[in-house]
Amino acid sequence: MTVPPSPLSPDPRRTEGVHPDHTELDRLDASALVQAFVEDQLGAVEAVRAAGGAIAEAVDAALPRLARGGRLVYVGAGTSGRLGVLDATELTPTFSWPPERAVGLIAGGDRAIRQAVEGAEDNADAGAADIRGAEVGSDDVLIAIAASGTTPYVLGAVKAARERGALTVGVANNPGTPLLAAADCAVLLDTGPEVISGSTRLKAGTAQKIALNTLSSALMVQLGKVYGNLMVDVQSSNVKLEERAVRLTCHATGASEAQARQALAEAGGHVKTALVMLRLGVGAGEAQARLQAAGGHSRAALGEG
């Protein structure tokens, strides 16, 4: 188990440092406070930009496992854990990714999504137990998130996942930390000290959110969940999404609204199927068969390569 540095000794983790530019933060009025917080968030974007190569490497490493039917498994504690659960949850309505293939694990269990569970992140054995409980295997991809890079719960999860043959991606906001050393793919988001010292729900969390969005979205694109830049695997689960499906179908095919609605009705609301139907002039069954033969990739089903 990794022991955090003593409170009396200098903490080498940059996220724990005191921001030199904001030592008078409590004296600022509302306008100046807002400006300070917003401007510091720009550091999150720069940190992710710098990590672009590492994120791309993680995408390349993860893609074959997911193509074989593996799962995305997110693990974290506190803010990091909640961001992982959020990314996992959003994959289903956005890309029709099966919910059982997007697993969010957080220290302290589901209760910790809404309520802080003190001390849960310090238990490495619990992290390992959650990995075993989720039956993580060799085709799965573990995305382990910890701003500090030293969270025992997350480190325990990574160790257990590697022992079970899973690919591990470590996302941390401090260089040279155990999480980055332990993971197969290391993604450093070096955001440095926070405006409110140590509050990694600020730009460290923002950088994690951007990185997770980027990683999972890139994977979904390469898995055929997007045609051009259109979200053709969206689940039409409410009125807003039903209307979005119509607009996407019209845009992709040049069909009228009436034609798009008819095709979507025959396709069970599935934009990708309606797209192939209208572009090739085939029925829903034929469109579905073409998509299945093409591994779900619209361009291949349309013969566009």
- Supply the residues annotated as catalytic: 90, 121
Q: What are residue 38's DSSP bridge partners?
A: none
Q: What six digits make up the tokens of 22? A: 């904001």
Closest CA relative to residue 146, chosen from 183, 99, 95, 103: 183
Burial of 254 (0-12, 13-18, 19+ CB in 10 A): exposed
CA distance 290 to 276: 8
Q: Which long-range contacts (CB under 8 A, 24 or more apart) does 253-257 make?
A: 253/278, 253/279
Strands 167-172 and 141-146: parallel
Closest CA relative to residue 207, chosen from 61, 94, 43, 97: 43
CA distance 83 to 133: 21
Closest CA relative to residue 220, chosen from 145, 296, 274: 296
CA distance 147 to 199: 10
Q: What six digits make up the tokens of 177? A: 């930390």
In single-letter form, the type of residue at position 10 comes to: P
